[in-house]
Amino acid sequence: MNTNQSNDPLHGITLEQIITKLVEVYGWDGLGERMNIRCFNNDPSIKSSLKFLRKTPWARQKVEDLFVASLN
């Protein structure tokens, strides 16, 4: 029996799932207030946010940190 489990709260969760959940919790306006990231403030969509966050490590880290904080 394998009792090793990942301690990473993001394990198995896609970036799309993270963004979708954050939008459900905070809305686009709330995300834009919490993080001054253009993809949340200028004509936001899941698709445009994914495109930007996949290319921008610092922004992705901010989004992942907010997601982990929202789990608590």
40-65 pLDDT, tens per residue?
999 999 999 999 999 999 999 999 99
Distance CA 16, CA 11 (A): 13
Please report, for the domain that includes residue 61, its CATH number. 1.10.720.30
Q: How many contiguous H segments (helices) and E segments (strands) does the chain have?
A: 4, 0
Task: Please check whether residue 4 lies inside any domain of the structure.
Answer: no
Mean pLDDT value across the chain: 90
Q: Report how many domains make up the chain.
A: 1
* Confidence label for 1 from pLDDT (cuts 50, 70 and 90): very low
Other C-beta atoms closer than 10 Å to the C-beta of 31 total 21
Q: What does DSSP assign to residue 48?
A: H
- pLDDT, average across residues 8-21: 92
Question: Does a structural domain hold residue 28?
Answer: yes
Say whether pLDDT at 7 is over 70.
Answer: yes
Alpha-carbon distance of 2 to 15, in angstroms, equals 27
